[in-house]
Amino acid sequence: MSKETFYVTTPIYYVNDVPHIGHVYTTVAADVIARYMRVSGREVMFLTGTDEHGQKVEQAARERGKTPQEHCDEMVVRFKDLWRRFNISNDDFIRTTEDRHVKVVQHFLQKLFDSGDIYKSSYSGWYCVPDERFWTEKDLVDGNCPDCGRGVVQIEESNYFFRMSKYQDWLIGHIEGNPDFIRPESRRNEMLGFLRKPLEDLCISRPKNRLHWGVEIPFDSDYVTYVWFDALINYVTSPGYTTDDDRFSSFWTNCTHLIGKDILTTHTIYWPTMLRGEGLAPPARVFAHGWWTVEGRKMSKSVGNVVEPNMLLDKYGADAIRYFLLREVPFGLVGDFSHAALVGRINSDLANDLGNLLQRSLGMLEKYRDAVIPPVPSDAQMGDLSRELVEASRRAVAELEEHMSALAFDRALKSVWEFIGRANKYIDSAAPWTLSKEGKDTKLDSVMYTLFEAIRQVAVMINPFMPETGQKMFRQLGIAQKKDLHTITSLKSWGGFQGGTRTFRGPALFPRIEEVPEVETGKEQDKKSEARSQKPGDKGMENVVTIEDFARVELVTGKVLEAEAVPKSKKLIRMIVDTGEKRQIVAGIAEYYQPADLVGKAIAVVGNLAPAKLMGVESNGMLLAAHDDDGLALVTFDKEVGVGVRIK
């Protein structure tokens, strides 16, 4: 293979349950990076699949009155259908019950057994049935599983063990010597901390009298393989370990595993030591992203707030969800899903910024140039405004490349949106309508060309994130078939769009959604809070609140990360504030503060205020300030505090 390779994987998901928004998150992220690498000229392999063995699956099948295989065959369809609906472009889908995988697991085990890295021993310890994990006495928290908090049972039996402890020093050296191996940094430190305690050997078998549903141990038919030992091996089965050496070695060296933080230990402790025992290199990078909650709460069946992705797809479409998930929070930090936040993003970023840019530009090209792209302007024909836009495009492409290689999806999108903002401003400043009215034809040609080359660049940059939208844009720009104009390489030099191309105006990319809670006016809010604070019999004490009342208000510390004036408003400033999670807050303080002065400030925020829209911009929270005749002062702190700290 001559091209540089890139191999990306998602966890293989358990088929004991249906997929939810958490599974969608990792899979969409993997899809975006796979698509991006393809258009950057890499030979890509993208793997996802399902984890079908083990106790949980056996139990789920039993509860449904099915055999485990029947259960798996039915559940896997839900994952495959969902990935199709989300336009997931995986090159392979692996199921651990497939023969190709079972063979590799058995090969792996036999090799480790032959080299003496697997041995048999009797074991007594605490076992968490739902997690299928053994724990030592000192691991337990209040006598329960330290991972899930559920009860554990004492088990004594003979089992096979992998000599994981033997590789501890090597693993520490590997993590220390390869800063990119575990990402983000916080997770790397967490694992180095974990490795300060001695590693124990790993129990890798389950006796068949307790569990049947697994890969039989090749050297002892009374046992099946521990589900995690079986599952992790999927990552080498697919690219051809033991079956296609060339393919395997070319992809394995460039492998990135995307996972949630819940399965960090298995991927960065078990897996690299297993590979080391087998004589294989560890994956190049394991990136553990953060956890999604829903409307501020942990997603759980008992709470009834599990976000069902098919319902979201019906309502918002794949691209809006893909965009929201990756734009809303930095990959690696916690995220909170809420319909209001999703609708806010659709309306402001997708319908307003991106949709309007394309729609108004196509409209002008139709009106002024019969929908035909003018020729590429010469250097002399380009004015300062156009040159600035070209420069902004160079910056956006460079930033996109930098952020994508670090899997900083939110920053990559932010850079693209800054460029979209520039292109929108370019239209306002270059004012094609005036050029047309004044008959400045050469200038108008030059402006329209520059604008459309910028839009083509936007389409290329967003295409990996929103493939349906990318394709729609390419169609409307008249370059659907010109694949060479869809690549990141085509953005390296300005002027790829050919003059004479005919464009086609289509329907709006993202119609606005008008269902976000509207703001109440200040007076209405005041009336309501007065009514809430008055209790019958409390004469003369109308404004007294109980400690419980006060505790309902979540006051937290925050740090302003970004601030900008809300267009067309004299009073409002839109801020992105870190309160442990990133949120957008709109405040009426523009008469007293410059946006630039706010960035970096530590502030006090009402964290659980209902979302509201101010001049069409969504605000999630309110900052505290004192207002008197002399002006306005933000509430801040007299020494440094972290973000997201509760103020009481």
Per CB under 6 A, 291 contacts ligand ME8? yes
Q: How far is the CB of 176 from ligand ME8 (least distance, A)?
A: 25
Q: Does 251 bind ligand ME8 (CB under 6 A)?
A: no
Applying CB under 6 A, which part among 8-16, 306-314, 537-545, 612-620 lies near ligand ME8?
8-16
d(CA 219, CA 352): 63
| Least Å from the CB of residue 384 to ligand ME8 | 46
Least spacing, CB of residue 323 vs ligand ME8, in Å: 17
d(CA 282, CA 253): 8
410 vs 453, beta carbon nearer ligand ME8: 410
* Strands 205-207 vs 220-225: parallel, antiparallel or unpaired: antiparallel
338-353 burial string, b = 16+ CB within 10 Å, else e? Answer: bbbbbbbbbbbbbbbb
Number of H helices, E strands in the chain: 23, 25
Least distance to ligand ME8, CB of residue 184, Å = 14
- DSSP-derived 3-state class of residue 135: strand
Work out which of 260, 317, 383, 580 binds ligand ME8, going by CB under 6 A. Answer: 260
Q: Is 580 in the site for ligand ME8 (CB under 6 A)?
A: no
Q: How far apart are CA 38 and CA 460, in angstroms?
A: 12
Query: Least distance (Å) from ligand ME8 to the CB of residue 346?
Result: 21
Contact present, 196 and 116 (Cβ < 8 Å): no
Residues 298-337 interacting with ligand ME8 (rule: CB under 6 A): 299
214 is an interface residue for ligand ME8 by CB under 6 A = no
User: Quick one: which of 193, 231, 225 has its CA closest to 212?
Assistant: 225
> How far, in Å, CA of 246 to CA of 503, rounded?
45
Q: Which residues are CB-contacts of 453 (< 8 A; sequence separation ≥ 6)? A: 494, 495, 496, 497
Q: By CB under 6 A, is residue 22 in contact with ligand ME8?
A: yes
Applying CB under 6 A, among 36, 287, 292, 494 the residue interacting with ligand ME8 is: 292
First vs last C-alpha separation in the chain: 61
CB of 188 to ligand ME8, least distance (A): 17
**Of residues 22 and 277, the one with the C-beta less far from ligand ME8:** 22
DSSP β-ladder status, 182-183 and 285-289: parallel
Tell which one of 7, 13, 134, 316 touches ligand ME8 (CB under 6 A). 13
Q: Which is nearer to ligand ME8, 30 or 460 (CB)?
A: 30
Beta carbon of residue 636, minimum distance to ligand ME8 (angstroms, whole number): 33
C-beta nearest to ligand ME8: residue: 22
Tokens of 138: 């000192």
Smallest distance from ligand ME8 to CB 290, Å: 7
Report helix, strand or coil for 227.
helix
Tell me which of 118, 128, 231, 556 binds ligand ME8, using CB under 6 A: 231
Q: Are 303 and 297 in contact (CB under 8 A)?
A: yes
- Quick one: which of 28, 31, 33, 51 contacts ligand ME8 (CB under 6 A)? 51
For position 592 contacting ligand ME8 by CB under 6 A, the verdict is no
Q: Which amino acid is at 548?
A: E
DSSP string, 333-380: B-EEE-HHHHHHHIIIIIIIIIIHHHHHHHHHHHHHHTTBPPPPPPGG
Nearer to ligand ME8, 90 or 457 (CB): 90
- Among residues 45, 61, 105, 259, which is the contact residue for ligand ME8, using CB under 6 A? 259
Chosen residue from 5, 26, 386, 469 binding ligand ME8 by CB under 6 A: 26
Count of residues interacting with ligand ME8 (CB under 6 A)? 19
3 state SS of 125: strand
> Does residue 603 belong to the site contacting ligand ME8 (CB under 6 A)?
no
Which tokens go with 469? 């939208």
Report d(CA 471, CA 365) in Å as an integer.
20
Question: What is the nearest approach in angstroms of ligand ME8 to the Cβ of residue 236?
Answer: 11
The answer to whether 52 and 96 have CB atoms below 8 angstroms apart is: yes
Cis? peptide before 184, omega within 30° of 0? yes
Least distance (Å) between residue 194 CB and ligand ME8: 17
Q: Is 272 in the site for ligand ME8 (CB under 6 A)?
A: no
Does 232 participate in binding ligand ME8 (rule CB under 6 A)?
A: yes
Does the footprint of ligand ME8 cover residue 263 (CB under 6 A)? yes
Residue 11, Cβ density class (10 Å: 0-12 exposed, 13-18 middle, ≥19 buried)? buried
Determine, following the binding rule CB under 6 A, whether residue 496 of this chain makes contact with ligand ME8. Answer: no
Provide the binding-site residues for ligand ME8, judged by CB under 6 A.
11-14, 22-23, 25-26, 51, 231-232, 234, 259-260, 262-263, 291-292, 299
